[in-house]
């Protein structure tokens, strides 16, 4: 069995929370996920995915910002079905 070395990294609080939630659904913790990432970097000789800056127009950027805001808003309306959603759009609620 190999030895481990404690390593400290700085991560945005919200990013860490969301990542930990994701990893928990996958049955792993942050340490396990980071180890998988680092091993893939070593195996592939670089970052194991393409890194790029997405180029969106202003309207798309605003829609993304609004969606992110709504995801954090507990008072935002939710719908169980498309019929409920369409009724809300039509003002039938």
Contact between residue 15 and residue 33 where contact means Cβ atoms under 8 Å apart: no
Residue 81 covered by a domain: yes
Residue 45 clears pLDDT 90, i.e. is over it: yes
Question: How many separate domains does the chain show?
Answer: 1
Which residues constitute the domain of residue 72?
13-90
Residue 3 covered by a domain: no
Residue 6 covered by a domain: no
- Output the pLDDT for position 1: 64
pLDDT, mean of residues 51-80: 91
Residue 18 covered by a domain: yes
Contact between residue 48 and residue 40 where contact means Cβ atoms under 8 Å apart: yes
- Output the pLDDT for position 88: 92
HSE-up (13 A, CA, CB side) for residue 64: 8
Helix (H, G, I), strand (E, B) or coil at 68: helix
Residue 7 covered by a domain: no
pLDDT, mean of residues 33-51: 96
- Output the pLDDT for position 92: 72
Q: What is the mean pLDDT of the chain?
A: 93
Residue 78 covered by a domain: yes
Q: Is the pTM of this model over 0.75?
A: no
């Amino acid at each position: 069995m190999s030895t481990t070395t404690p390593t400290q990294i700085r991560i945005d609080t919200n990013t860490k929370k969301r990542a930990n939630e994701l990893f928990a659904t996958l049955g792993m913790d942050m340490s396990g996920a980071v180890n998988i990432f680092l091993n893939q970097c070593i195996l592939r000789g670089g970052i194991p995915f393409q890194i790029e800056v997405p180029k969106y127009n202003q309207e798309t950027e605003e829609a993304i910002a609004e969606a992110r805001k709504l995801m954090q808003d507990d008072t935002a309306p939710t719908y169980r079905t498309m019929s409920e959603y369409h009724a809300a759009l039509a003002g039938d609620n």
